[in-house]
Structure 1
């Protein structure tokens, strides 16, 4: 009886410590292969994502290159070079800056030697911190002193001394007066074009100018033949498809700038 009990105990121990079967090993091996397949799939997805990002960056670069060499850009560069050769405007160009913030780019210009600048409200709206680059390569951090959305004008300040600047004219521009616009349209910088005042103080206190205006021109100074600022570019007209109207530039007259920024007279005078 004792031997029978010992035999049963041995069988129970054998059952409790029975070695894994071959099927168990195969099951583990099958799970491992599945995990491996998932890892391979994940790597392929990562590679695909990298290729897609690289492709998008390449397309963006090609698009920028195309914009740079587009017909409008080439024409702007050609006419700008012609104006620079014919007119004494290079001194004015030194005061026209590039304003960058949050991946956006526009134009502005210095109005005092100690670093006050004018631009459009929409150039700096929700785009701080702002970097201001002068044509000589000097870069400054700009603070917003005042900004008026309704007039689309903004006053900035950089910490600079003896900076090139443009004087503001106190009296209004007149129709057919010759003007220059200096700005950073499309992908270019320091582009000058010549035009004239079509109408001053039209609807909504807007100055119409004949100059070609493109994205990036926002905040550009409208200069008289004597180099005085008579307006600030903010947009261009968009005629109807079948209207037959010509496009024209839109600017804020300098007198409206003074009205919108009451501290300007104290700063300048």
Structure 2
């Protein structure tokens, strides 16, 4: 008898293009070439980044180098004057933990005036006079809002700068003595730019740089009329020039009673 049973036929399978792909093992030489190529790309990237950083660093170095030379040249010329040399004797370098700034002595018994931000969180602090004497100090008062600080060092018969409590005047000639750009005892001259009184902030034409914070603004007689704390930065593409900013001494005396008592005793 004839068997009519037949196995069912499989459905037709149509291969896809992916079926014709196959993984091919890479040779050791090809693997090395790929690693070398990746390494080369990384090295080129690092090299380009380093060149860009060097360019930026070079621009800043040249900028500050020119400023440093100009400051030193001006300071050397002004320091030929006897009264300028006397003013400098009272200006100290403040060296602290991770920072450096300027201060000045306002009393023969050793009271140093500077900015709050110069001493804040930078203890221990060393106060170095031009004579080479080094002192440590305790804080009498530090006013963050006004950005001023008064400190006491153990000393006597020290050179000091007198304070002038009345308002500074527009166009008045002034000096600033400080320790900018890793230099010390740098003096430059300028004038007061404010056009109205009383002043909340003194605007001065003197060039101000990092390290100038806490520098005294002095009249031609060597009286302190303000304390430098910053420099203004004009808007981009603005025709305005930046100028130095200082806290008027009359505001400081008002805010720090101890300073007024010291001033009255002299």
The alpha carbon displacement at 1:268 in A equals 2.2
Mapped to 2, the partners of 1:99 and 1:199 lie a distance apart of 29
Which residue number in structure 2 is paired with residue 49 of structure 1?
none
Question: For 1:258, which of 241, 253, 261 is the aligned residue?
Answer: 253
SS in 2 for 1:90: helix
Contact 2:119/2:125, CA 8 A, preserved across alignment: yes
- Structure 1 residues 37-66: Cα deviation after superposition (integer angstroms, max 9, x where no partner): xxxxxxxxxxxxxxxxxxxxxx9xx99xx5
Mapped to 2, the partners of 1:98 and 1:166 lie a distance apart of 15
Contact 1:97/1:133, CA 8 A, preserved across alignment: yes
Which residue number in structure 2 is paired with residue 193 of structure 1?
188
Q: Does 1:82 align with 2:77?
A: yes
Question: For 2:217, which of 222, 239, 251 is the aligned residue?
Answer: 222
The alpha carbon displacement at 1:170 in A equals 1.8
Contact 2:199/2:248, CA 8 A, preserved across alignment: no
Structure 1: gaps of 5 or more residues: 1-58
Q: Over aligned residue pairs, what C-alpha RMSD do you find?
A: 2.1
The alpha carbon displacement at 1:85 in A equals 2.1
Which residue number in structure 2 is paired with residue 140 of structure 1?
135
- Structure 1 residues 123-144: Cα deviation after superposition (integer angstroms, max 9, x where no partner): 0011111110000100001111
Which residue number in structure 1 is paired with residue 158 of structure 2?
163
Mapped to 1, the partners of 2:153 and 2:62 lie a distance apart of 31
The alpha carbon displacement at 1:219 in A equals 0.2
Runs of 4+ aligned residues of structure 1 deviating over 3 Å after TM superposition are 66-69, 200-204
- Structure 1 residues 201-238: Cα deviation after superposition (integer angstroms, max 9, x where no partner): 77981100000000000000000000000000000000
- Structure 1 residues 225-255: Cα deviation after superposition (integer angstroms, max 9, x where no partner): 0000000000000011201111100000010
Structure 2: gaps of 5 or more residues: 1-53
- Counterparts of 1:42-191 in structure 2, within 5 Å, are 70-86=65-81, 88-191=83-186
Which residue number in structure 2 is paired with residue 22 of structure 1?
none
The alpha carbon displacement at 1:67 in A equals 7.7
SS in 2 for 1:198: coil
Contact 1:68/1:186, CA 8 A, preserved across alignment: no
Which residue number in structure 2 is paired with residue 10 of structure 1?
none
SS in 2 for 1:251: strand
Mapped to 2, the partners of 1:71 and 1:190 lie a distance apart of 18
Mapped to 1, the partners of 2:208 and 2:134 lie a distance apart of 25
The alpha carbon displacement at 1:263 in A equals 1.7
| TM-score in terms of structure 2 length | 0.74
Contact 1:200/1:253, CA 8 A, preserved across alignment: no
- Structure 1 residues 8-34: Cα deviation after superposition (integer angstroms, max 9, x where no partner): xxxxxxxxxxxxxxxxxxxxxxxxxxx
Q: Does 1:268 align with 2:263?
A: yes
The alpha carbon displacement at 1:88 in A equals 2.5
